[in-house]
Amino acid sequence: MTETIVMKFGGSSVADPDKVRLVAGRFVDAKRRGFDVVGTVSAMGKTTDTLLALASDVSPSPNPRELDMLLSTGERIACALVAMAIHDLGEEAVSFTGSQAGILTDSVHTRAKIREIRGDRIRAALEQGKIALVAGFQGFSRDTMDVTTLGRGGTDATAVALAAALGGACEIYSDVPGVFTADPRIVPGARKLDVVSYDEMLEMAASGAKVLMLRSVELARSHGVRIHARSTFSEEEGTWVQEPEGMEQPIVSAVTHSETDVVFTLTGIPDRPGVAAMIFDTVASAQVNVDTIIQNVVHGRAEMSFSVPAEDVPATRSALDASQAELGSFDVGENHGLGKVSLVGAGMRSHPGVAATMFRTLAELGINLEMISTSPIKISCMIARDRIPEAVRGLHAAFRLEREPEREPTI
Amino acid sequence: MTETIVMKFGGSSVADPDKVRLVAGRFVDAKRRGFDVVGTVSAMGKTTDTLLALASDVSPSPNPRELDMLLSTGERIACALVAMAIHDLGEEAVSFTGSQAGILTDSVHTRAKIREIRGDRIRAALEQGKIALVAGFQGFSRDTMDVTTLGRGGTDATAVALAAALGGACEIYSDVPGVFTADPRIVPGARKLDVVSYDEMLEMAASGAKVLMLRSVELARSHGVRIHARSTFSEEEGTWVQEPEGMEQPIVSAVTHSETDVVFTLTGIPDRPGVAAMIFDTVASAQVNVDTIIQNVVHGRAEMSFSVPAEDVPATRSALDASQAELGSFDVGENHGLGKVSLVGAGMRSHPGVAATMFRTLAELGINLEMISTSPIKISCMIARDRIPEAVRGLHAAFRLEREPEREPTI
């Protein structure tokens, strides 16, 4: 039986006709290596931004159903063009909209979640020896029969869901060759990782690694889909994201960072039980990814701080306004001067010494820690944003990440 | 019972966000005047040309199925934007793709014909008090389940077909206020016609009037749909195209012209019965609109001339190449120096004197007639292209078209 492979290319990989032909060539190569090939691509270059700008030129608050009708065209255009280029290379291809491909979602416009993939037309195309291309980032709701879009990271989610539904690995192509021990633009000695576990990748994505979106990694983990993150522009192997093999896992796999977080500090919060929880409920239901949270009492008044990614700042502000309307007034401060540096490694679970080494390294560089948050396999520190590159280089060196990994000893 | 109205706006009417809002206002006005409103719009401005250019940048001969996937996005974008703008004006609107609207076509990509409209979702939207917007120029084939586009004049055809399926008049909006006795840019005294018959409109569209496409008028005639051709930018009544009322019909309704026809002359055609028919079969099956045809024998050799619209020239050339491959070689000449001036009027049927007046008028202007063709309600002359404006003005004056029409006497 032929093995199925799902290949996903982002918007920058199909940004112009030359790149469209190059991507078509990658699909054709995979087909000729003997795979059943399913492809999904994002909208070309800045198409989605252009469509969003058009919508906001027309309407101050575009109707969400119509916004989905609008935005879903970008990926359809890209898929149709790639299909044309594949034909010119001598293979057959057929492009499908999300609804033609049977990508069923809930009916939450602009950020729908995939419920199920009925891949009948995809399977039929594969059986006919065709390359099946599926417009990313979109599906349709069986309840309303309307087109939906999947929101941020939607095309990666499409790719992983297709791999889960059809059985097969999922290759996610981008302009970087894989997952690195740190951002190579900051750390010249950063090393490409051959394999990372789902848990590590989740922490890395949450703490600033841009290669894969949190959402697609979660989807991959819950369906056991292996992801191969690799470069559009090279044949080189990338990084596999999968269940860890064997007992040994690296103590520290990578240093990640993020320079765009914004820290909100709330002071004078009404001192009643459950108030903090209610505020976070409101923020969470606005789909904000709250990261580090600190709550303490200063001079007898409750104070609470949390960081959110820059793109979630407007949603956070509205959610806090709504909370104040409900709970009474409190002060909201925003700090745009901080960044986050994180260490991620599955072996950390059994090596509590990592935090101490991290803090000592940053202290030796004279960097103050503003906030700290931890998970079993991650430690994050909020520090002054302009010290981020130094901190990343210092930590990469301190944990010797330029070398092959230290591993947790076998039991 | 509420009357249904189908309103169609072309690409220049929705070319930018301001115009999108203006068009939205026209839909809302009609809704508030008490109509059930169904809208269809073309792609914004030059969108279709841009998509075609993108396709030809990617592929020398784009796959037709994928070309339809690509081109159909233009109208979807325009519809979604108009729907957003309608919401902002306080009415509800819902946009549908051709397939969501149930526009079933044959499966001939890039020039599909509408077979049937299953307007279930449109009717449901109207019953809910919503304005239903249907992406023009597209449908889907039930045989292949693929998206199709309707080719030239596709959105007008969508509008007329919707009016036929839903029952109601069809308003076709453009940047001209209606159908005129001649092109007002050439004849300052040209008069807007209140009513023209289907037959007249067909002849006028075929002979150069740009207001309505031949195809949509044919569709309207065969389904008894009344078309109201009017201006996007004014409230003024336009021209109704419908079955003639009463017995009187104007002898001459309008002078039309076309400056882009190309005359092909074939010489040395093999002298066997049926050869001319075979050549025209080949040309016709390439979807070329052959107009005037002349066949004669010069110095004992068969010679044949015919005119085609400029946009059909490439298709004509390929069809003639194919004919030569099959029938043996003959000479093909092209004359790009001619144009066509036509008189159209339903009353001509019983007034044979019209041709004589036309020929005399042109002779007095010193204009040679290169080819002549007639129908019961039209006379066309091919003349030197640079004499067209003079000829149009001369004929408009000779038949006194600036005045209310002369009419055929009642029996």
A363-403 tens-digit pLDDT: 999 999 888 888 888 999 999 999 999 999 999 999 999 98
- Average pLDDT (A6-10) is 97
How much is the pTM?
Answer: 0.84
pLDDT at res. A373: 83
pLDDT band at A411 (very low <50, low <70, confident <90, very high): very low
What is the CATH T-level fold of the domain B246-411, as seen in this structure?
A: VC0802-like (3.30.2130)
pLDDT of B69 > 90? The answer is yes
Winning range, highest mean pLDDT, from A280-294, A317-331, B261-275: A317-331
- Average pLDDT (B102-108) is 95
Cross-chain residue pair B81–A20, CB shorter than 8 Å: no
Q: Which residues 87-126 of A are in CB contact (within 8 Å) with B?
A: 87-88, 93-95, 97, 100, 121
Q: Where are the alpha helices (DSSP H) in B130-258?
A: 154-166, 198-206, 214-223
Nearest to B84 among A21, A58, A79 (CB): A58
Cβ-Cβ contacts under 8 Å, A85 against chain B: 58-59
pLDDT at res. B300: 58
Residues A153-166: pLDDT tens digits? 899 999 999 999 99
pLDDT at res. A285: 81
pLDDT at res. B355: 87
Query: Which comes out higher in pLDDT, residue B307 or B240?
Result: B240
Question: Percentage helix, strand, coil, to 5, in chain B?
Answer: 40, 25, 35
Residues B355-406: pLDDT tens digits? 889 999 999 999 998 888 888 889 999 999 999 999 999 999 999 999 876 5
Distances in Å between the Cα of B303 and the Cα atoms of B280, B292, B309, B330, B332 are 14, 14, 20, 10, 10
DSSP string, A99-156: TTTTEEE-S-TTS--EEEE--HHHHHHHHTTPEEEEETTEEEETTT--EEE--TTHHH
Residues B143-153: pLDDT tens digits? 999 999 998 88
ipTM: 0.81
Nearest to B58 among A66, A84, A121 (CB): A84
Chains A, B: CB contacts under 8 A, how many?
Answer: 103
CB atoms within 10 A of CB A294: 16
Q: How far apart are CA B8 and CA A104, in angstroms?
A: 32
Shortest CA distance from B52: residue in chain A: A81
pLDDT band at B193 (very low <50, low <70, confident <90, very high): very high
Cross-chain residue pair B84–A59, CB shorter than 8 Å: yes
Identify the bridge partners of residue B196 per DSSP, sorted by sequence position. B241
What is the number of H-type helices and E-type strands within chain A? 11, 20
Nearest to A81 among B70, B85, B93 (CB): B70
Weakest-pLDDT range from A246-255, A313-322, B232-241? A246-255
pLDDT of A283 > 50? The answer is yes
pLDDT at res. B195: 93
pLDDT at res. A247: 60
pLDDT at res. B172: 97
pLDDT of A139 > 90? The answer is yes
Residues A183-205: pLDDT tens digits? 999 999 999 999 999 999 999 98
Q: pLDDT averaged over chain B?
A: 90
pLDDT at res. A300: 58
**Probe site for chain A from B22, B41, B51, B58 (most A CB atoms < 10 A):** B58
pLDDT of B170 > 80? The answer is yes
Cβ-Cβ contacts under 8 Å, A69 against chain B: 76, 79-80, 83, 95, 97
Query: Cα dihedral sign for B119, B120, B121, B127?
Result: positive
Degrees to nearest 5, angle at CA B186 with B183 and B191: 45
* Residue with token string 């919503």: B130
Residues A28-53: pLDDT tens digits? 999 999 999 999 999 999 999 999 99
Cross-chain residue pair A58–B145, CB shorter than 8 Å: no
Asked if CATH classification 2.30.30.90 holds for the domain at A4-174, the reply, yes or no, is no
What is the number of H-type helices and E-type strands within chain B? 11, 20
pLDDT at res. A410: 47
Weakest-pLDDT range from B61-65, B138-142, B144-148, B356-360? B356-360
- Average pLDDT (B161-170) is 96
Residues A53-97: pLDDT tens digits? 999 999 999 999 999 999 999 999 999 999 999 999 999 999 999
User: Are B4-174 and B246-411 in the same CATH fold?
Assistant: no
pLDDT at res. B14: 95
Query: Which comes out higher in pLDDT, residue A315 or B83?
Result: B83
Contact (CB, 8 A) for A344 and A373: no
Weakest-pLDDT range from A6-20, A138-152, B347-361, B383-397? B347-361
The number of angstroms, rounded, from the C-alpha of A386 to the middle of its chain's C-alpha atoms is 24
- Average pLDDT (A10-34) is 96
- Average pLDDT (A197-222) is 89
pLDDT at res. B207: 83
Cβ-Cβ contacts under 8 Å, A93 against chain B: 63, 66
User: Tokens in use for A43?
Assistant: 């909208």
Domain ranges (residues) in chain B: 4-174, 246-411
**Probe site for chain A from B14, B57, B77, B138 (most A CB atoms < 10 A):** B77
